[in-house]
Amino acid sequence: MALLRQHAPADHAELPGPATEQALRAAEERMGISLPEDLRTWLLQNNLDLPEEDVEDDVACCGFAGFPDEGSFFLGIRAMEGLYANHYTRGGFNPPDQPDNPFWRNEWIPFLSDQDGWMGKFIDVRDGRIGRWFVGDITVTGEYESLAQYFDSVAETLKKIAEGRHPVCEITEGRLVWS
């Protein structure tokens, strides 16, 4: 977030503040799952839920477009909870006959998504590893060993953008502009 503030201050200025501990506890209770400590730390610094008046009813997920890339965005706790509820399955994994290779497990908490909720990244509460899903495709687990490792990759991307070395993004008037 410091890199975003430094290189794209106009985008950074529009981000809301942190979640409260009370909001996180309430979401955990509704979801029936505890947030991993690193996700909790992130949300206590950066709850990226849109203000209620900016939420569009016809999109599955909403957030601040254009960060970390042009097609997806980090979810705030409200959006995480909504997307988690959409994927939640009574048996614990989906499809129920593929426990070793499911499309979705209830131990996965989404933290990044596209507007349709068809693809994104999740953190596995069992081991903290980061995976990605795409509806209709194979879910990938262990894409990153931790949320910190994933954020390091985002920081590297922001550095490339700031240095003018990214093929499809530049900074214009303090904003990330994707082509």
Least confident of 49-53, 76-80, 90-94, 149-153: 49-53
Q: What are phi and psi of 55, to 5 degrees?
A: -75, 130
The answer to whether the peptide bond before residue 95 is cis (omega within 30 degrees of 0) is yes
Reported in sequence order, the residue ranges of 30-168 that DSSP labels E, i.e. its strands, are 73-74, 93-94, 104-105, 108-113, 119-124, 130-134, 140-144
Residues 6+ away with beta carbon under 8 Å from 26: none
For 20-61, what is each residue's pLDDT tens digit? 999 999 999 999 999 999 999 999 988 877 666 665 665 555
- Structure confidence by residue, pLDDT tens digits, 97-133: 777 777 888 999 999 988 777 889 999 999 999 999 9
- pLDDT of 115: 75
| Cβ-based burial of 132 (10 A; exposed 0-12, middle 13-18, buried ≥19) | middle
Q: Give the pTM.
A: 0.87
End-to-end CA distance of the chain: give it in Å, rounded: 22
Instruction: Write the pLDDT tens digit of every residue in 161-174.
Output: 999 999 999 999 99
The whole-angstrom separation of Cα 67 and Cα 104 is 24
Q: Supply the pLDDT for residue 160.
A: 94
Q: What single-letter DSSP state applies at residue 14?
A: T
